[in-house]
């Protein structure tokens, strides 16, 4: 099966590069992927795949029927949105839309998803179960996955694979991660209400700035003294405002920040734990507080069995020297985690780094990929799909 998949993918490679360049030249912002979605739906239909549009607003779902010997459904998820960045590459196929750019490789993801659909549609009779292709909108604003799930995209799905490009891994290589891949990312906002007074008479006032400074210090210290250091938390207060004049004690402070964590239990307890610290200081010094804790996406926890399938598929396809087992997660966030609330899954990193030129990071206006990665992504996922049914 591997050699058939490789032959098909190699034959399709020039077409896939055309597709990727077309998508790259026509980027669309999160939630506005109308042309991309129509384009994706067109390619899927031309492979004889049953297509549903407008799933999760601008998402597309493709269903590929296998031969029916297994009733399980394997989902393959890719994302389609671009970023509000002015592209500064000199590519022939650079963005034709001012201020919008595929700077996170979602053009490559969409192309890989289409490539897998093209390859597997030609091997459908050998596929035991069904494949559901999820082309998701709005990943960059961490909304698209929840829209797709709400519209039933994960109904009856038994397992899901995802992929994200990674510039620090060389092209033609892949990175496999067991366990936590990305962090849970929540937003926090804290208001502290004291009492204003003369800067020279602190005993007649409740100094909200001083209390806020205590709270920030206490939170950072409490992470190191009360939380398991093997379950990391990063708490960044990125905004703070309060006070009206140098000699007037501030009665109000607003702080806002982001809270990242990797362990699901840690994540579950964060709001209560933070509020306890805020409440203690405010009570001690007579201030009032209000805390708004907005949960973002949870941490992506890659399933061990499915990660193993990805690892074996890529080792067989590319040889062990092109497979990296990633020893560290990232504290970035990825809404792939929302699918994992409905089925186990694994997301791997697709190397797009190029040896002979500077690798700009994701979200950089000069971000470029080595397009040979497309073939690597297509073969890895298509072959892993076959292995999924074989090994269960
Ligand atoms: Ni991305």
Q: What is the pLDDT of residues 118-132, one digit of tens each?
A: 999 999 999 999 999
Cα of 194 from ligand 1 centre, angstroms = 42
Examine the domain organization and report whether 44 and 105 are in the same domain. Answer: yes
Cα of 138 from ligand 1 centre, angstroms = 10
Examine the domain organization and report whether 21 and 150 are in the same domain. Answer: yes
Examine the domain organization and report whether 188 and 176 are in the same domain. Answer: no
Last residue in a domain, options 276, 297, 318: 297
**In total, how many domains does the chain have?**
2
CATH of the domain at 211: 3.30.70.360
Q: What is the sign of the dihedral through the CA atoms of 40, 41, 43 and 44?
A: positive
Examine the domain organization and report whether 79 and 94 are in the same domain. Answer: yes
> Does residue 242 come out as left (phi exceeding 0), alpha (psi in the -120 to 50 range) or beta?
left
Q: Which residues, other chains included, contact 155 with Cβ-Cβ below 8 Å and sequence gap of 6+?
A: none
Cα of 225 from ligand 1 centre, angstroms = 34
CATH of the domain at 54: 3.40.630.10
Q: How many CB atoms lie within 10 A of CB 338?
A: 22
Cα of 253 from ligand 1 centre, angstroms = 34
Cα of 298 from ligand 1 centre, angstroms = 16
Examine the domain organization and report whether 158 and 51 are in the same domain. Answer: yes
Q: Which pLDDT does position 55 carry in this prediction? A: 98
Q: Which pLDDT does position 392 carry in this prediction? A: 57
Cα of 23 from ligand 1 centre, angstroms = 15
Last residue in a domain, options 297, 332, 353: 297
pTM of the model: 0.90
Strand blocks (E) in 71-183 = 73-79, 130-136, 157-170, 174-176, 179-180
Q: Which pLDDT does position 357 carry in this prediction? A: 67
**pLDDT per residue as tens digits for the range 295-337:** 999 999 999 999 999 999 999 999 999 999 999 999 889 999 9
Collect residues with CB below 5 Å from ion ligand 1.
104
Q: Which residues, other chains included, contact 306 with Cβ-Cβ below 8 Å and sequence gap of 6+?
A: 159, 161, 344, 345, 346, 388
Structural domain of residue 165, as residue ranges?
A: 2-182+300-391
Examine the domain organization and report whether 265 and 347 are in the same domain. Answer: no
Examine the domain organization and report whether 333 and 369 are in the same domain. Answer: yes
Examine the domain organization and report whether 287 and 325 are in the same domain. Answer: no
Examine the domain organization and report whether 115 and 18 are in the same domain. Answer: yes
Cα of 263 from ligand 1 centre, angstroms = 22
Q: Which pLDDT does position 88 carry in this prediction? A: 96
Examine the domain organization and report whether 69 and 102 are in the same domain. Answer: yes
Examine the domain organization and report whether 173 and 229 are in the same domain. Answer: no
Bridging pattern class, strands 174-176 and 323-325: parallel
Last residue in a domain, options 233, 265, 297: 297
Cα of 275 from ligand 1 centre, angstroms = 32
Examine the domain organization and report whether 146 and 194 are in the same domain. Answer: no
CA dihedral 222, 226, 229, 230 (to 10 degrees): -140
Beta bridge partners of 191: 254, 290
Q: In the chain, which stretches have pLDDT less than 70?
A: 356-358, 392
């Amino acid at each position: 099966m591997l050699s058939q998949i490789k032959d098909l993918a190699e034959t399709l490679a020039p077409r896939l590069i055309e597709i990727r360049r077309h998508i790259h030249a026509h980027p669309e912002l999160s939630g506005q992927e109308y042309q991309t979605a129509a384009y994706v739906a067109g390619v899927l239909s031309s492979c004889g795949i049953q297509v549903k549009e407008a799933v999760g607003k601008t998402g597309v779902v493709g269903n590929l029927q296998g031969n029916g010997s297994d009733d399980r459904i394997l989902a393959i998820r890719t994302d389609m949105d671009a970023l509000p960045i002015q592209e500064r590459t000199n590519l022939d196929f650079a963005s034709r839309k001012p201020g919008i750019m595929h700077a996170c490789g979602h053009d490559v993801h969409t192309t890989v998803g289409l490539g897998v659909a093209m390859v597997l549609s030609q091997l459908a009779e050998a596929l035991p179960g069904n494949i559901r292709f999820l082309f998701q909108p709005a990943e960059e604003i961490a909304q698209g996955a929840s829209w797709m799930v709400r519209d039933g995209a994960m109904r009856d799905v038994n397992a899901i694979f995802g992929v994200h490009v990674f510039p620090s891994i060389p092209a033609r290589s892949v990175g496999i991660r067991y366990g936590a891949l990305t962090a849970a990312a929540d937003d926090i906002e804290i208001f502290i209400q004291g009492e204003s007074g003369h800067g020279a008479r602190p005993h007649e006032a409740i100094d909200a700035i001083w209390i806020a400074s205590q709270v920030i210090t206490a939170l950072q210290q409490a992470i190191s003294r009360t939380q398991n250091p093997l379950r990391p938390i990063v708490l960044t207060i990125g905004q703070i405002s309060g006070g009206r004049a140098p000699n007037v004690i501030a009665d109000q402070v607003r702080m806002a920040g982001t809270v990242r964590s990797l362990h699901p239990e840690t994540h579950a307890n964060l709001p209560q734990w933070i509020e306890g610290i805020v409440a203690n200081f405010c009570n001690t010094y007579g201030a009032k507080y209000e805390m708004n804790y907005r949960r973002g996406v949870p941490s992506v926890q890659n399933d061990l069995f499915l990660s193993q399938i990805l690892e074996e598929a890529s080792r067989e396809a590319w040889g062990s020297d092109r497979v990296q087992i990633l020893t560290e997660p990232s504290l970035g966030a990825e809404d792939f985690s929302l699918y994992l609330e409905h089925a186990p899954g694994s997301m791997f990193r697709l190397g797009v780094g190029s040896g002979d030129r500077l690798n700009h990071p994701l979200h950089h206006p000069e971000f470029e990929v080595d397009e040979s990665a497309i073939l690597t992504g297509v073969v890895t996922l298509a072959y892993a799909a076959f292995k999924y049914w074989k090994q269960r």
